[in-house]
Amino acid sequence: MGLATLYRRHALWLARRLRSRFGEEGEDIAHDAWRKLAAAYASGREIRHPRALLMTVAGRLASDRAARRSRREALESMAAASSPLAETGAQEAAVMMEQLIVALPDDLRSVFVMSRFGGLTNAQIGVRLGLSPKTVEWRMTRALAHITAQLRR
């Protein structure tokens, strides 16, 4: 079955489900879910249960969006609550952290940045970098140990 046929059969259903669950954001999630499904379809994978796959993908996308929103709101509330004096200390700390991250070896830095700033899981990072999730986990552990050791100096 072609992707166009899958879309005609399930697009309205998915849009309604996600709109009822997530409001206006549901449309964006549906669009992103179809992009992910198209990528899976292009890779030649057989899609036996498109509705289940679409809902799984949409659920993960919604979860990722919520996590990013939560982190952003936490940072914004911290920034709003800080005084000018505290802001100077925060700026210095941010510069120091940036220097520590830049000093990481390339393989550790890429994993660290994707995880901490990109909000990606070990599995997602592994797919992007062509690594196993265990290798990603190992690199992340090494990156954190390296940064911790530098902070203790």
Model pLDDT for residues 45-81, shown as the tens digit of each residue: 777 888 998 999 999 999 888 888 888 888 777 666 6
Kindly tell me if the per-residue pLDDT of 147 is higher than 90: no
Kindly tell me if the per-residue pLDDT of 94 is higher than 50: yes
Contact 29, 58 (CB under 8 A): yes
> For 74, what's the count of Cα atoms within 13 Å in the CB-facing half-sphere?
6
**Residue 84 pLDDT:** 53
Contact 47, 53 (CB under 8 A): yes
Helix (H, G, I), strand (E, B) or coil at 87: helix
49: left (phi over 0), alpha (psi -120 to 50) or beta: beta
**Residue 77 pLDDT:** 74
pTM: 0.50
